[in-house]
Structure formats: structure tokens, C-alpha cells
Amino acid sequence: MTQPDYELERALHAQGYLRIAGVDEVGRGPLAGPVTAAAVILNPAQIPKGLNDSKKLSAKKREMLETSLMAEAEVSIAHATVEEIDRINILKASHLAMERAVAALDPPPDYLLIDGNLIPKGLRTPSEAVVKGDGRSVSIAAASIVAKMCRDRVMVDLAQQHPGYGWEKNAGYPTKQHREGLQNIGVTPHHRRSFKPVHNILYQE
């Protein structure tokens, strides 16, 4: 099991880049809720131990790392709404959330390490797409953790307003409970109408 490290960042420091942000998003797959992105610039002297792809960490470990990152790193989090997802599609909306997260870092970063194989079109900063980046770069892993923690909290809040879909546990992903909720309770304003399971319920013959 390889852990993400600081090698990509170190190589960029050697080229003269100082403010390197890792960028990642969460929430492409759910049927409900926003898509959330984070941009994180780590302090090389204070990198929290145990950073990894958020999906590989326990909830408790994610929480501890989030606390450390908020204290020791520069963190920016942004969303794209359900309306934006339905209007422009999930890929463009996740890129929009990334662009917003990067734009909110002040002072701006001078290089971006972006999880995935695409660089959002709206980014003007020198950037590199890193496939499976949250398993390779600690900066991207940090972004995956804070984005997930933030989005999970949003979904817990929405679950209190719309009980029955299990969002406090499934974060809007299409689990059995969520699908049954859609069938039995119907579609909420927080559901992504462009996603097939939601669309099919709205437009049942």
C-alpha cells in the first residue's frame, strides 16, 4: 500500500514554484446535493502525518486530519449547486467548484496539482493533472479530506430538512435507502434532475 508523498511538490519547489495547491473534488456520483471542491496549500514544515485518499481513511482519522489541516495549511472550499450540475453537467460543475476553490486562495497559488486527468478550462494558473492524485500527492490527499468533510456536513444538514433518504449516512449516493426514499417520498429540490434515477421518477410514463 503506497502512501501519497511530497515528491511532486518537492520537484516543483526545485523549479521555483513556492505556493503549490492540491485540488480535488467530491460528490460527482451522488443523486443529491452539491459537488464540493477544495484547494489546499500545505506548509512543508508542518505536513500532518497520515494524509491519504479520504476514501481510505476512517471517519475519525479524517476528522483529526481536517482539524490539523485547518490549523496548519491554507484551505479553501467551494461548491457548485444542484442547479449548476443540472444546467452544465456534473463534469463541468465539478470543474467550476475547483475553479472557485482555487480563486478563493489569497494570495493565489503559483502552481496547481489537480486530481484526475483533466485541467478545468477556467484555471489560468500553471497546472498538472495527476491521475489518482489523492494516492500520490499529500496536497491532493489533503484537499480530498477537507472537501469530503465539508460536503458530508452539508448532507447531514439537508438530511434533517428531508428525512427518509438516509443522506446523513449515504451523503446522497444511490444506496438502497436513498433509492427507496425517492420511490416512496419523491424528489426534493436537492435532487439532481439530470441524473437518470431522479429523471426517471420525475418522468415516469
Of all residues in the chain, the percent with pLDDT exceeding 90 is 97
Would the pLDDT of 205 be above 60? no
Q: In whole numbers, what is the pLDDT of the chain averaged over residues?
A: 96
Would the pLDDT of 203 be above 90? no
* The model's pTM: 0.96
pLDDT in tens, 2-28: 799 999 999 999 999 999 999 999 999
> Which residue in the block uniquely carries the three cell numbers 496549500?
41
Instruction: Return the amino acid letter for 112.
Output: L
Say how far apart CA 54 and CA 36 lie, in whole Å. 14
pLDDT in tens, 95-151: 999 999 999 999 999 999 999 999 999 999 999 999 999 999 999 999 999 999 999
Nearest to residue 149, comparing CAs of 28, 54, 46?
54
1 confidence band (pLDDT: 50, 70, 90) = low
At residue 199, the pLDDT reads 94
Q: What residues contact 148, with CB distance under 8 A and at least 6 apart? A: 26, 36, 54, 62
187 confidence band (pLDDT: 50, 70, 90) = very high
> Which residue in the block uniquely carries the three cell numbers 477537507?
146
Strand order in the sheet with 111-115: 74-80, 35-41, 20-26, 111-115, 127-130
Task: Determine the average pLDDT of the residues in 174-195.
Answer: 97
Task: Determine the average pLDDT of the residues in 163-176.
Answer: 98
